[in-house]
Structure 1
Amino acid sequence: MYLIALTGGIASGKSTVAARLAERGAVHIDADLLAREVVAPGTPGLAAIAAEFGNAVLTSDGSLDRAALGAIIFTDAESRERLNVITHPQVWSRTQQLIEEAGAKDPHAIVVYDVPLLAEAAADRRLAFDLIVVVHAEADTRIERMVSQRALSHAEASARIRSQASDEERLAIADVVIDNTGTIEQTLIQADEVWERARRAVGGVL
Protein backbone atom coordinates (compact mmCIF):
# COMPACT_ATOMS: atom_id res chain seq x y z
CA MET A 1 0.00 0.00 0.00
CA TYR A 2 1.15 3.54 -0.77
CA LEU A 3 -0.14 6.46 1.27
CA ILE A 4 -0.31 9.96 -0.18
CA ALA A 5 -1.24 12.97 1.91
CA LEU A 6 -2.69 15.64 -0.36
CA THR A 7 -2.96 19.12 1.09
CA GLY A 8 -3.23 22.76 0.07
CA GLY A 9 -4.66 26.02 1.27
CA ILE A 10 -8.30 26.88 0.79
CA ALA A 11 -9.15 27.40 -2.92
CA SER A 12 -5.75 26.11 -4.00
CA GLY A 13 -7.33 23.50 -6.30
CA LYS A 14 -6.67 20.48 -4.10
CA SER A 15 -10.05 18.97 -4.94
CA THR A 16 -9.19 18.97 -8.64
CA VAL A 17 -6.05 16.97 -7.98
CA ALA A 18 -7.85 14.60 -5.61
CA ALA A 19 -10.53 13.93 -8.21
CA ARG A 20 -7.90 13.17 -10.85
CA LEU A 21 -6.07 10.70 -8.62
CA ALA A 22 -9.35 9.01 -7.73
CA GLU A 23 -10.20 8.82 -11.42
CA ARG A 24 -6.89 7.06 -12.03
CA GLY A 25 -7.72 4.49 -9.35
CA ALA A 26 -6.65 5.86 -5.97
CA VAL A 27 -8.70 5.24 -2.85
CA HIS A 28 -9.85 8.75 -1.89
CA ILE A 29 -10.30 9.62 1.78
CA ASP A 30 -11.72 13.13 2.17
CA ALA A 31 -10.99 14.70 5.56
CA ASP A 32 -13.65 17.36 5.02
CA LEU A 33 -16.32 14.69 4.58
CA LEU A 34 -15.09 12.89 7.68
CA ALA A 35 -15.17 16.16 9.59
CA ARG A 36 -18.86 16.42 8.72
CA GLU A 37 -19.44 12.79 9.67
CA VAL A 38 -18.00 13.18 13.17
CA VAL A 39 -20.25 16.18 13.95
CA ALA A 40 -23.48 14.80 12.48
CA PRO A 41 -26.62 14.98 14.65
CA GLY A 42 -26.45 12.58 17.56
CA THR A 43 -22.67 12.23 17.57
CA PRO A 44 -20.40 12.85 20.56
CA GLY A 45 -18.55 15.36 18.40
CA LEU A 46 -21.59 17.58 17.94
CA ALA A 47 -22.46 17.34 21.63
CA ALA A 48 -18.93 18.44 22.52
CA ILE A 49 -19.13 21.40 20.14
CA ALA A 50 -22.44 22.52 21.61
CA ALA A 51 -21.02 22.22 25.12
CA GLU A 52 -17.96 24.24 24.12
CA PHE A 53 -19.55 26.97 22.01
CA GLY A 54 -23.18 26.99 23.11
CA ASN A 55 -26.47 26.27 21.36
CA ALA A 56 -26.00 29.31 19.13
CA VAL A 57 -23.94 27.08 16.82
CA LEU A 58 -26.87 24.69 16.35
CA THR A 59 -29.77 25.05 13.93
CA SER A 60 -33.40 24.70 14.96
CA ASP A 61 -33.33 20.99 14.11
CA GLY A 62 -30.27 20.40 16.28
CA SER A 63 -27.68 20.05 13.52
CA LEU A 64 -24.50 22.08 13.30
CA ASP A 65 -24.91 25.65 12.03
CA ARG A 66 -21.70 25.85 10.02
CA ALA A 67 -22.09 29.52 9.21
CA ALA A 68 -22.48 30.44 12.87
CA LEU A 69 -19.52 28.30 13.89
CA GLY A 70 -17.44 29.62 10.98
CA ALA A 71 -18.09 33.20 12.06
CA ILE A 72 -16.43 32.31 15.36
CA ILE A 73 -13.49 30.15 14.34
CA PHE A 74 -12.33 32.01 11.24
CA THR A 75 -11.77 35.20 13.25
CA ASP A 76 -10.46 33.80 16.52
CA ALA A 77 -7.45 31.49 16.72
CA GLU A 78 -8.19 30.32 20.27
CA SER A 79 -11.72 29.26 19.35
CA ARG A 80 -10.41 27.53 16.24
CA GLU A 81 -7.96 25.53 18.33
CA ARG A 82 -10.71 24.55 20.77
CA LEU A 83 -12.71 23.18 17.84
CA ASN A 84 -9.69 21.34 16.46
CA VAL A 85 -9.12 19.62 19.79
CA ILE A 86 -12.63 18.21 19.52
CA THR A 87 -12.72 17.18 15.87
CA HIS A 88 -9.20 16.37 14.73
CA PRO A 89 -8.64 13.23 16.86
CA GLN A 90 -11.98 11.82 15.72
CA VAL A 91 -11.25 12.53 12.05
CA TRP A 92 -7.80 10.95 12.33
CA SER A 93 -9.18 7.86 14.05
CA ARG A 94 -11.73 7.38 11.27
CA THR A 95 -9.03 7.98 8.65
CA GLN A 96 -6.83 5.25 10.11
CA GLN A 97 -9.77 2.87 10.05
CA LEU A 98 -10.42 3.59 6.35
CA ILE A 99 -6.74 3.19 5.50
CA GLU A 100 -6.68 -0.19 7.21
CA GLU A 101 -9.80 -1.25 5.31
CA ALA A 102 -8.24 -0.18 1.99
CA GLY A 103 -5.08 -2.16 2.74
CA ALA A 104 -7.04 -5.24 3.71
CA LYS A 105 -8.99 -5.09 0.47
CA ASP A 106 -5.93 -4.47 -1.72
CA PRO A 107 -2.35 -4.63 -0.36
CA HIS A 108 -1.21 -2.63 -3.39
CA ALA A 109 -3.77 0.14 -2.97
CA ILE A 110 -2.76 3.75 -3.50
CA VAL A 111 -4.57 5.80 -0.87
CA VAL A 112 -4.95 9.57 -1.10
CA TYR A 113 -5.78 11.33 2.14
CA ASP A 114 -7.23 14.66 1.03
CA VAL A 115 -6.68 16.94 4.03
CA PRO A 116 -6.58 20.76 4.18
CA LEU A 117 -4.90 21.09 7.58
CA LEU A 118 -1.92 18.75 7.33
CA ALA A 119 0.66 21.45 8.04
CA GLU A 120 -1.22 22.28 11.23
CA ALA A 121 -1.20 18.65 12.40
CA ALA A 122 1.39 17.10 14.69
CA ALA A 123 4.63 16.25 12.91
CA ASP A 124 4.44 12.57 13.84
CA ARG A 125 1.12 12.29 12.02
CA ARG A 126 2.77 13.37 8.77
CA LEU A 127 5.24 10.51 9.15
CA ALA A 128 2.39 8.09 8.45
CA PHE A 129 2.54 8.95 4.73
CA ASP A 130 4.87 7.84 1.95
CA LEU A 131 4.43 11.07 0.02
CA ILE A 132 3.17 14.55 0.90
CA VAL A 133 1.78 16.51 -2.04
CA VAL A 134 1.02 20.22 -1.68
CA VAL A 135 -1.22 21.94 -4.23
CA HIS A 136 -0.12 25.56 -4.39
CA ALA A 137 -1.54 28.83 -5.66
CA GLU A 138 -0.70 32.33 -4.48
CA ALA A 139 -2.96 33.95 -1.90
CA ASP A 140 -4.23 36.62 -4.31
CA THR A 141 -5.32 33.92 -6.76
CA ARG A 142 -7.09 31.99 -4.03
CA ILE A 143 -8.87 35.08 -2.75
CA GLU A 144 -10.07 35.86 -6.28
CA ARG A 145 -11.40 32.29 -6.60
CA MET A 146 -13.29 32.48 -3.32
CA VAL A 147 -14.83 35.83 -4.22
CA SER A 148 -15.88 34.74 -7.72
CA GLN A 149 -16.78 31.09 -7.07
CA ARG A 150 -17.95 31.01 -3.44
CA ALA A 151 -19.55 34.45 -3.14
CA LEU A 152 -17.34 35.46 -0.21
CA SER A 153 -16.28 39.02 0.37
CA HIS A 154 -12.61 39.91 0.02
CA ALA A 155 -12.39 40.28 3.80
CA GLU A 156 -14.03 36.89 4.42
CA ALA A 157 -11.72 35.18 1.93
CA SER A 158 -8.66 36.81 3.47
CA ALA A 159 -9.74 35.75 6.96
CA ARG A 160 -10.09 32.14 5.84
CA ILE A 161 -6.60 32.17 4.38
CA ARG A 162 -5.19 33.66 7.57
CA SER A 163 -6.94 30.95 9.61
CA GLN A 164 -4.78 28.27 7.98
CA ALA A 165 -1.05 27.61 7.93
CA SER A 166 1.02 29.94 5.79
CA ASP A 167 2.16 29.00 2.29
CA GLU A 168 5.70 28.75 3.65
CA GLU A 169 4.64 26.27 6.34
CA ARG A 170 2.83 24.07 3.81
CA LEU A 171 5.61 24.15 1.25
CA ALA A 172 8.14 23.22 3.93
CA ILE A 173 6.49 19.81 4.43
CA ALA A 174 6.06 19.02 0.72
CA ASP A 175 7.71 16.14 -1.09
CA VAL A 176 5.97 17.27 -4.28
CA VAL A 177 4.46 20.67 -5.10
CA ILE A 178 1.73 20.91 -7.74
CA ASP A 179 1.54 24.42 -9.17
CA ASN A 180 -2.11 25.23 -9.78
CA THR A 181 -1.72 28.70 -11.22
CA GLY A 182 -1.76 27.58 -14.85
CA THR A 183 -4.36 25.79 -16.93
CA ILE A 184 -6.41 22.85 -15.74
CA GLU A 185 -4.53 20.69 -18.24
CA GLN A 186 -1.20 21.64 -16.67
CA THR A 187 -2.52 20.78 -13.22
CA LEU A 188 -3.80 17.40 -14.39
CA ILE A 189 -0.45 16.56 -15.96
CA GLN A 190 1.21 17.14 -12.61
CA ALA A 191 -1.40 14.99 -10.87
CA ASP A 192 -0.75 12.21 -13.37
CA GLU A 193 2.97 12.41 -12.57
CA VAL A 194 2.16 11.83 -8.91
CA TRP A 195 0.03 8.84 -9.89
CA GLU A 196 2.82 7.32 -11.95
CA ARG A 197 5.26 7.82 -9.10
CA ALA A 198 2.90 5.99 -6.76
CA ARG A 199 2.40 3.16 -9.28
CA ARG A 200 6.15 2.66 -9.52
CA ALA A 201 6.37 2.58 -5.73
CA VAL A 202 3.86 -0.28 -5.50
CA GLY A 203 5.52 -2.15 -8.31
CA GLY A 204 3.38 -0.99 -11.21
CA VAL A 205 0.77 -3.61 -10.48
CA LEU A 206 -2.25 -1.33 -10.99
Structure 2
Amino acid sequence: MRSCSTPSDDAFGPIVVKDLRTLRVLLLQPESCEGDELLQHLHRIGCSVRRAWPPLNVIPKEVDIVFVSARPLVEDGVELHWNADDPQAVLIAIVDYENPIIVEKMLRLRAQAVIGLPLQTFGILSSILLSVNNHRREMRLRLRVERLSAKLKAQRDIDKAKAILMTANKVSEEVAYNTLRGHAMSKRTTIEAVAASLIEASDVLHLSSKE
Protein backbone atom coordinates (compact mmCIF):
# COMPACT_ATOMS: atom_id res chain seq x y z
CA MET A 1 0.00 0.00 0.00
CA ARG A 2 1.00 3.64 -0.36
CA SER A 3 1.16 4.40 3.33
CA CYS A 4 1.45 2.65 6.65
CA SER A 5 -1.39 4.76 8.00
CA THR A 6 -4.95 3.96 6.97
CA PRO A 7 -6.81 6.93 5.47
CA SER A 8 -10.37 7.68 6.47
CA ASP A 9 -13.38 7.44 4.16
CA ASP A 10 -13.47 11.26 4.13
CA ALA A 11 -10.17 11.30 2.22
CA PHE A 12 -11.98 9.66 -0.70
CA GLY A 13 -15.25 11.56 -0.53
CA PRO A 14 -17.03 12.54 -3.76
CA ILE A 15 -16.37 15.94 -5.32
CA VAL A 16 -18.59 18.46 -7.09
CA VAL A 17 -17.83 21.41 -9.38
CA LYS A 18 -16.96 23.75 -6.53
CA ASP A 19 -14.19 21.34 -5.46
CA LEU A 20 -12.26 21.71 -8.72
CA ARG A 21 -9.90 24.27 -7.18
CA THR A 22 -8.72 21.62 -4.74
CA LEU A 23 -7.61 19.25 -7.52
CA ARG A 24 -3.92 19.06 -8.36
CA VAL A 25 -3.15 18.04 -11.93
CA LEU A 26 0.06 16.72 -13.47
CA LEU A 27 0.16 17.27 -17.24
CA LEU A 28 2.60 14.90 -18.94
CA GLN A 29 2.74 16.09 -22.53
CA PRO A 30 5.46 17.35 -24.88
CA GLU A 31 5.47 21.07 -25.63
CA SER A 32 2.84 21.77 -28.27
CA CYS A 33 -0.02 24.12 -29.13
CA GLU A 34 -2.50 21.46 -27.98
CA GLY A 35 -0.62 21.08 -24.72
CA ASP A 36 -0.67 24.83 -24.14
CA GLU A 37 -4.39 24.94 -24.87
CA LEU A 38 -5.13 22.08 -22.48
CA LEU A 39 -2.99 23.70 -19.80
CA GLN A 40 -4.87 26.98 -20.16
CA HIS A 41 -8.25 25.24 -20.10
CA LEU A 42 -7.37 23.33 -16.93
CA HIS A 43 -6.38 26.63 -15.32
CA ARG A 44 -9.64 28.21 -16.47
CA ILE A 45 -11.79 25.54 -14.83
CA GLY A 46 -9.87 26.04 -11.60
CA CYS A 47 -7.37 23.17 -11.37
CA SER A 48 -3.85 23.61 -10.07
CA VAL A 49 -1.61 22.30 -12.87
CA ARG A 50 2.03 21.24 -13.06
CA ARG A 51 3.52 20.35 -16.45
CA ALA A 52 6.40 17.97 -17.12
CA TRP A 53 7.99 16.03 -19.96
CA PRO A 54 9.31 13.39 -20.09
CA PRO A 55 7.23 11.75 -17.33
CA LEU A 56 8.66 12.01 -13.84
CA ASN A 57 10.31 8.95 -12.33
CA VAL A 58 7.94 9.24 -9.37
CA ILE A 59 4.43 10.64 -9.50
CA PRO A 60 4.13 13.16 -6.61
CA LYS A 61 1.89 11.88 -3.83
CA GLU A 62 -0.18 15.05 -3.77
CA VAL A 63 -1.31 14.71 -7.40
CA ASP A 64 -5.02 13.93 -7.95
CA ILE A 65 -5.09 13.64 -11.76
CA VAL A 66 -2.46 12.72 -14.33
CA PHE A 67 -2.98 13.63 -17.98
CA VAL A 68 -0.55 11.75 -20.20
CA SER A 69 0.15 11.88 -23.92
CA ALA A 70 -0.43 8.32 -25.13
CA ARG A 71 1.42 8.16 -28.45
CA PRO A 72 4.99 8.67 -27.10
CA LEU A 73 4.44 5.84 -24.61
CA VAL A 74 3.90 3.49 -27.56
CA GLU A 75 5.85 4.88 -30.50
CA ASP A 76 8.85 6.42 -28.70
CA GLY A 77 9.18 3.95 -25.84
CA VAL A 78 8.73 6.69 -23.23
CA GLU A 79 8.18 5.06 -19.86
CA LEU A 80 5.40 6.05 -17.49
CA HIS A 81 6.05 4.87 -13.93
CA TRP A 82 2.50 3.99 -13.03
CA ASN A 83 1.05 1.39 -10.66
CA ALA A 84 -2.07 0.32 -12.54
CA ASP A 85 -3.03 -2.18 -9.81
CA ASP A 86 -3.06 0.44 -7.08
CA PRO A 87 -3.19 3.87 -8.73
CA GLN A 88 -2.64 6.84 -6.47
CA ALA A 89 -4.45 9.19 -8.82
CA VAL A 90 -6.74 9.35 -11.83
CA LEU A 91 -5.10 8.67 -15.20
CA ILE A 92 -6.53 10.43 -18.26
CA ALA A 93 -5.01 9.65 -21.65
CA ILE A 94 -4.44 12.25 -24.38
CA VAL A 95 -4.85 10.54 -27.74
CA ASP A 96 -4.41 12.10 -31.19
CA TYR A 97 -5.46 9.00 -33.08
CA GLU A 98 -6.70 5.54 -32.25
CA ASN A 99 -4.98 2.31 -33.11
CA PRO A 100 -5.13 -1.08 -31.38
CA ILE A 101 -1.66 -0.75 -29.82
CA ILE A 102 -2.40 2.61 -28.18
CA VAL A 103 -5.80 1.39 -26.98
CA GLU A 104 -4.19 -1.75 -25.52
CA LYS A 105 -1.57 0.38 -23.76
CA MET A 106 -4.23 2.55 -22.17
CA LEU A 107 -6.16 -0.53 -21.08
CA ARG A 108 -3.05 -1.95 -19.41
CA LEU A 109 -2.46 1.34 -17.61
CA ARG A 110 -6.17 1.39 -16.71
CA ALA A 111 -6.73 4.94 -17.86
CA GLN A 112 -10.10 6.16 -16.61
CA ALA A 113 -10.84 8.58 -19.45
CA VAL A 114 -9.56 9.69 -22.84
CA ILE A 115 -9.26 13.17 -24.34
CA GLY A 116 -8.92 13.36 -28.10
CA LEU A 117 -6.81 15.68 -30.23
CA PRO A 118 -7.30 18.12 -31.82
CA LEU A 119 -8.51 19.37 -28.48
CA GLN A 120 -12.20 19.88 -27.90
CA THR A 121 -12.57 21.56 -24.52
CA PHE A 122 -16.20 20.51 -24.28
CA GLY A 123 -16.39 17.43 -22.09
CA ILE A 124 -13.09 17.84 -20.25
CA LEU A 125 -14.80 19.12 -17.10
CA SER A 126 -17.23 16.19 -17.14
CA SER A 127 -14.42 13.71 -17.74
CA ILE A 128 -12.49 15.08 -14.76
CA LEU A 129 -15.43 14.99 -12.36
CA LEU A 130 -16.63 11.55 -13.43
CA SER A 131 -13.12 10.05 -13.40
CA VAL A 132 -12.19 11.48 -10.02
CA ASN A 133 -15.45 10.36 -8.42
CA ASN A 134 -15.11 6.88 -9.93
CA HIS A 135 -11.54 6.66 -8.65
CA ARG A 136 -12.56 7.80 -5.17
CA ARG A 137 -15.43 5.31 -5.11
CA GLU A 138 -12.94 2.56 -5.93
CA MET A 139 -10.62 3.78 -3.18
CA ARG A 140 -13.46 3.69 -0.65
CA LEU A 141 -14.25 0.12 -1.67
CA ARG A 142 -10.58 -0.85 -1.40
CA LEU A 143 -10.41 0.70 2.05
CA ARG A 144 -13.46 -1.23 3.22
CA VAL A 145 -12.05 -4.47 1.86
CA GLU A 146 -8.74 -3.83 3.65
CA ARG A 147 -10.53 -3.13 6.91
CA LEU A 148 -12.64 -6.25 6.58
CA SER A 149 -9.57 -8.36 5.77
CA ALA A 150 -7.73 -6.93 8.79
CA LYS A 151 -10.74 -7.64 11.00
CA LEU A 152 -11.00 -11.23 9.78
CA LYS A 153 -7.26 -11.79 10.26
CA ALA A 154 -7.45 -10.38 13.78
CA GLN A 155 -10.31 -12.71 14.63
CA ARG A 156 -8.39 -15.69 13.23
CA ASP A 157 -5.37 -14.72 15.34
CA ILE A 158 -7.51 -14.47 18.47
CA ASP A 159 -9.08 -17.87 17.79
CA LYS A 160 -5.64 -19.41 17.20
CA ALA A 161 -4.21 -17.82 20.34
CA LYS A 162 -7.15 -19.10 22.37
CA ALA A 163 -6.55 -22.59 21.01
CA ILE A 164 -2.88 -22.41 22.01
CA LEU A 165 -3.80 -21.41 25.57
CA MET A 166 -6.57 -24.00 25.80
CA THR A 167 -4.17 -26.77 24.75
CA ALA A 168 -1.20 -25.61 26.82
CA ASN A 169 -3.11 -24.80 30.01
CA LYS A 170 -6.08 -27.15 29.58
CA VAL A 171 -8.58 -24.35 30.14
CA SER A 172 -11.90 -23.43 28.57
CA GLU A 173 -12.32 -21.07 25.64
CA GLU A 174 -13.75 -18.42 27.98
CA VAL A 175 -10.78 -18.62 30.32
CA ALA A 176 -8.37 -18.45 27.39
CA TYR A 177 -10.09 -15.36 26.02
CA ASN A 178 -10.14 -13.67 29.43
CA THR A 179 -6.43 -14.42 29.77
CA LEU A 180 -5.71 -12.68 26.46
CA ARG A 181 -7.91 -9.74 27.37
CA GLY A 182 -6.37 -9.37 30.82
CA HIS A 183 -2.86 -9.41 29.39
CA ALA A 184 -3.84 -6.80 26.81
CA MET A 185 -5.26 -4.53 29.51
CA SER A 186 -2.17 -4.89 31.68
CA LYS A 187 0.11 -4.07 28.75
CA ARG A 188 -2.19 -1.30 27.51
CA THR A 189 -2.37 -2.82 24.07
CA THR A 190 -4.99 -4.59 21.99
CA ILE A 191 -6.08 -8.18 22.33
CA GLU A 192 -5.21 -8.61 18.67
CA ALA A 193 -1.60 -7.58 19.35
CA VAL A 194 -1.36 -9.97 22.30
CA ALA A 195 -2.76 -12.80 20.18
CA ALA A 196 -0.28 -12.12 17.37
CA SER A 197 2.64 -12.10 19.85
CA LEU A 198 1.50 -15.37 21.40
CA ILE A 199 1.21 -17.02 17.99
CA GLU A 200 4.68 -15.81 17.03
CA ALA A 201 6.16 -17.09 20.30
CA SER A 202 4.41 -20.43 19.87
CA ASP A 203 5.75 -20.77 16.33
CA VAL A 204 9.29 -20.03 17.53
CA LEU A 205 9.02 -22.65 20.29
CA HIS A 206 7.58 -25.15 17.85
CA LEU A 207 10.46 -24.62 15.43
CA SER A 208 13.02 -24.86 18.26
CA SER A 209 11.59 -28.16 19.40
CA LYS A 210 12.14 -29.62 15.94
CA GLU A 211 15.81 -28.69 15.82
Normalising by the smaller structure, the TM-score range is 0.3 to 0.5
Q: Which has the higher contact order (CA 8 A, sep 6+)?
A: 1
With normalisation by structure 2, the TM-score equals: 0.35
